Amino acid sequence: MARKVRVNTLTKRLKDRYGYAMTVLRGLVKTDFKMRYQGSFLGVAWSVLKPLLLFVVMYIVFAKFLRLTDHTSTYPVVLLLGVCSWQFVSETIGIGLRSIVDRGDLLRKVHFPNYIVVVSASIGSLISLGINYAVVLVFALFQHVEFTWRVLWLPINLVELYAVSLALALIFATCYVYFRDIAHIWEVLSQILFYAMPIMYPLSYVTDKGGVYASLAKLELLNPIAQTIQDIRHNFIAPATQPTVWNSFNSWWEKSIPLVIVIVLAWFSVYIFRRNSRRFAEVM
């Protein structure tokens, strides 16, 4: 009986503290997702078409013409999965960094935690990712992909991908309030990251060259975004052909570097956002 009372008390406290914030969050997520495709003829279908069109271009250019493949039947699905995952990261940060400024009028009129605006933008991108992954699953079934027990790790991989994306969105959103140049910097940085990570080309293409290239391939895996996308590919589609940080390094301290970076990045993003959020309305 006492345990039930404690649970009810805890539930009430959480509801009193976060109930209003959750109500605002749900409203913003619905509004953001509707506004994202408002006025377009295809609407929500663009959340699928954009990564699909990018996948088609990349597959024709890099797989067919430049022959940058791992020469397996699952490579097209692996490529599509990587494109969809990167699209989520890019979209979360790109929309999230502008969210505070774009919602400036609302933040000045209605009192609620500022971070909800950035979180709502990230959840909209997360919904699109779910739709894209459903498309990837259909492609995988057509390619007769043999799924393994490793798909059980996917929720953890997605949590990590979401955490690093949201952390970067919070940092860039804070900086964007003071420096509008951050948007242009992110456009350039996102292109650099896209080509520096094994998304359009298989990581094995680099490792097979040996020597310095093999070392560079390992360094790529220490990037938490690349590490997570490779883990998703490994666990979802092709465990036999996708190198990951877990099978490329021997010592645990090396394997834990991407996770440590994510944790530090998450802490720093919350710290810098909370420290500056009270002044957002004044600066804007």
What are the pLDDT digits (tens) for 119-140?
Answer: 888 888 888 898 889 888 888 8
Does residue 2 lie in a domain region?
A: no
Confidence of residue 18 (pLDDT cuts 50, 70, 90): low
Q: Is 284 exposed, middle or buried (0-12, 13-18, 19+ CB in 10 A)?
A: middle
End-to-end, the C-alpha distance of the chain in Å comes to 51
Number of domains comprising the chain: 1
80 vs 7, more confident: 80
Determine the average pLDDT of the residues in 259-278.
91
Does residue 210 lie in a domain region?
A: yes
Confidence of residue 3 (pLDDT cuts 50, 70, 90): low
Question: Could you tell me if 195 and 68 are in contact, meaning their C-beta atoms sit under 8 angstroms apart?
Answer: no
Distance separating alpha carbons of residues 227 and 233, to the nearest angstrom: 10
Q: Which residue is listed with tokens 């456009």?
A: 187
Does residue 89 lie in a domain region?
A: yes
Q: What local confidence, expressed as pLDDT, does residue 143 receive?
A: 81
Q: What local confidence, expressed as pLDDT, does residue 157 receive?
A: 94
Does residue 94 lie in a domain region?
A: yes
Task: Read off the amino acid at residue 76.
Answer: P
Q: What local confidence, expressed as pLDDT, does residue 7 receive?
A: 47
Whether residue 207 has pLDDT greater than 50: yes
Confidence of residue 188 (pLDDT cuts 50, 70, 90): very high
Does residue 8 lie in a domain region?
A: no
Determine the average pLDDT of the residues in 106-126.
80
Does residue 248 lie in a domain region?
A: yes
User: Residue-wise over 14-42: b if at least 16 C-beta within 10 A, else e?
Assistant: eeeeeeeeeebbeebbeebbeebeeeeee
Range of the domain at 227: 23-283
Does residue 15 lie in a domain region?
A: no
Determine the average pLDDT of the residues in 82-96.
91
Does residue 4 lie in a domain region?
A: no
Least confident of 32-46, 189-203, 211-225, 229-243: 32-46
143 vs 28, more confident: 143
Token pair listed for 113: 């935690």
Whether residue 15 has pLDDT greater than 80: no
CB atoms within 10 A of CB 269: 23
What are the pLDDT digits (tens) for 167-187?
Answer: 999 999 999 988 888 999 999
